[in-house]
Amino acid sequence: MAGDRLYEVMIKKAIRLARKAEGRTSPNPMVGAVLFNRDGVIATGYHQQAGQPHAEIVVLRKAGRLSRGASLAVNLEPCCHHGRTGPCTDAIIAAGVKKVIYSIEDPFHMVHGRGARILAAHGIKIIRGVGRDEAVRLNEVYLHYIATGRPFVALKLAQSLDGRIATRTGQSRWISSTEALAFGHRLRAGYDAVAVGSGTVRVDNPKLTVRRAKGPNPLRIVLTASPDLPAKMKVFASENGSRTVVATTRKNIADGAYSFAETWPIRKGPDGLDLDDLLKQAGDKGVTSILFEGGGRLATALLRRKLVNKLYFIVAPTIIGQGVASVGDLGVTALSESVGFKDFGHRKLGTDILFWGYPKR
């Protein structure tokens, strides 16, 4: 197998391995590694959870003396600093690895090309950029958070063909198929936090936990300017270590409206709570990603403010007619002002169609 093709195969394998830890590595990136030589793969591994050994360390420990003279394929530049674990560059050098192939530079300021330079200074051949696009998609949350200090924002909506998320009486369970519901739970498991507005809490009384898939429960965020959400709502019940934050006004907090829950004081904006303030505070608290699940008013506010990084629309093959719209007025007066997408795709989810895309900024 030609060199370039071999490197692509090994990087793809590393990315598949990295995905196994989805939802468990935050605030770290997902990283997989493959150690190989002319005879084939020597060892594979991935970073399983924040605080545990990095992917490079896992494979080097598995391979032992077989690491000497081998090549290492990894989807992110090896780290070169002391955190909760030691520098991967030190271990790679000590193991006698002769070549490192990686997809993208680590933008973290303590690495950012320095890891590759250290390895090259010790005579290790460096090959960059293999599988770059797939590696960027894999760690889009990490890359966004490091670049902006704010969480990566995803918006998920389940709607009918005519853009309704509920009937005119508020009934919304279940517009989506069981396969789509399971997909939604897998999404939750992959994000640090899941957020809804108070209207969704009142009408649907959701738990916002992960039940139809395997994975950790996200931080649950309830956005409300109202002072009277009942403590008995399911979202406030502790379940498998799940935690809930009420993002509300300073006045509500001062008045003790949500003394039964953790609160974040959020400024008020022209259309309710200031979502920019929410994202800044979440980022400052180490929340790297938030999945917003509704409802329509919250979705509209996010889209109007151009705060959505990725959108998931699950469209059911049904027509409701008069009902609750998934998205309200975005202030669009010309088609050129509508929300377009720079990258998008679709696939079936049971009887539904999933549309995903990255809105243009």
Do 259 and 171 belong together in one domain? yes
**Which residue in this structure is represented by tokens 């498998």?**
240
**Worst-scoring range by mean pLDDT, 18-32, 199-213, 306-320?**
199-213
Do 110 and 190 belong together in one domain? no
End residue of a domain, out of 90, 109, 143: 143
The pLDDT, as a whole number, for residue 163 is 85
Do 20 and 134 belong together in one domain? yes
Average pLDDT over residues 54-81: 96
Which band of pLDDT confidence, cut at 50, 70 and 90, is reported for residue 2? low
What is the tens place of the pLDDT at every residue in 195-205?
Answer: 999 988 988 89
The pLDDT, as a whole number, for residue 166 is 84
Structural domain that includes position 25 = 3-143
- pLDDT over 90, % of the chain: 77
Average pLDDT score, the chain? 93
Do 29 and 172 belong together in one domain? no
What is the tens place of the pLDDT at every residue in 105-122?
Answer: 999 988 998 999 999 999
What is the tens place of the pLDDT at every residue in 231-242?
Answer: 999 999 987 778
Which band of pLDDT confidence, cut at 50, 70 and 90, is reported for residue 328? confident
The pLDDT, as a whole number, for residue 1 is 52
Do 199 and 326 belong together in one domain? yes
Do 224 and 311 belong together in one domain? yes
Identified catalytic residue from 8, 22, 56, 134 = 56
Q: How far apart are CA 7 and CA 100, in angstroms?
A: 10
Which band of pLDDT confidence, cut at 50, 70 and 90, is reported for residue 4? confident
Which band of pLDDT confidence, cut at 50, 70 and 90, is reported for residue 281? very high
Q: Could you confirm whether 337 is annotated as catalytic?
A: no
Sheet holding 125-128, edge to edge: 40-46, 32-37, 71-76, 99-104, 125-128
Do 168 and 317 belong together in one domain? yes
**pTM of the full predicted structure?**
0.92
Distance from chain centroid for Cα 232: 29
The answer to whether 122 and 141 have CB atoms below 8 angstroms apart is no
Do 175 and 118 belong together in one domain? no
End residue of a domain, out of 126, 143, 160: 143
Q: How many CA within 13 A on the CB side of residue 107?
A: 13
φ/ψ region of 170 (left if φ > 0, alpha if ψ in -120 to 50, else beta) reads left
Do 119 and 183 belong together in one domain? no
